[in-house]
Amino acid sequence: AQKVTQAQTEISVVEKEDVTLDCVYETRDTTYYLFWYKQPPSGELVFLIRRNSFDEQNEISGRYSWNFQKSTSSFNFTITASQVVDSAVYFCALSEPLQGAQKLVFGQGTRLTINP
Partner 1 sequence: DTGVSQDPRHKITKRGQNVTFRCDPISEHNRLYWYRQTLGQGPEFLTYFQNEAQLEKSRLLSDRFSAERPKGSFSTLEIQRTEQGDSAMYLCASSQRLSGYSTDTQYFGPGTRLTVL
Residues that bind partner 1 (CB under 8 A): 4, 31, 33, 35, 37, 42-47, 50, 52, 91, 93, 95, 98-109
Check: CB of residue 20 under 8 Å from CB of residue 76.
yes
AA identity, residue 109? G
Indicate the residue among 33 and 64 with the shorter CB distance to partner 1. 33
Indicate the residue among 57 and 116 with the shorter CB distance to partner 1. 57
Distance CA 98, CA 90 (A): 24
Distance CA 53, CA 18 (A): 26
Indicate the residue among 18 and 47 with the shorter CB distance to partner 1. 47
- Cβ of residue 101: shortest distance to partner 1, in angstroms? 6
